Amino acid sequence: MYAMETLKKRLSHIGYETKKEDEASLSFCLEKVRSTVRNETNLPAIPEGLEHIATDMAAGEFLLAKKTFAPDDLSALDLTAAVKEIKEGDTTIAFGTGEGSLTPEQRLTAYIDHLLTYGKKEFSAFRRIRW
């Protein structure tokens, strides 16, 4: 239950207020991410050091599903003042109010991609070798 409340708070910080009908989708996204992290690390549970990454990945999964199947539900998100800069390896994404030529949909897509991939490199620090 802790993970569900954390995910709801994370989505709230992003600007999406969860509704009762989102519960099943949120649970599915959490389980999908838990499975991914457990498979990548070969551990029976998500390590404490990866919980924040798992929360962001679940938020990304949820927002991607919403964007695909119910885009009108995301109309309340304010994408005009999105992240100023995201730097991951040799990839840099920078946008802000009035900057760049990205549409709000492109900004949302870039942010969802960031949520889904940020921190995956940290999995290796927790990986247990499989025999």
**Rounded CA separation 104/131 (Å):** 47
Question: Is residue 28 very low, low, confident or very high in pLDDT (cuts 50, 70, 90)?
Answer: very high
Phi, psi of 75, deg, nearest 5: -65, -20
Ramachandran angles phi, psi of 47, nearest 5°: -65, 150
pLDDT, average across residues 26-40: 94
Q: In this predicted model, what pLDDT tens digit does every residue of 71-115 receive, in sequence order?
A: 888 877 766 655 556 667 777 766 555 555 677 788 888 889 999
Q: Has residue 131 been placed in a domain?
A: no
Q: How far apart are CA 117 and CA 15, in angstroms?
A: 20
In a domain, 15, yes or no: yes
In a domain, 101, yes or no: yes
Total domains in the fold of the chain: 1
Domain of residue 76 covers: 2-126
Provide the percentage of residues in the chain whose pLDDT is more than 90: 47
Query: Do the domain assignments include residue 71?
Result: yes
pTM summary value: 0.79
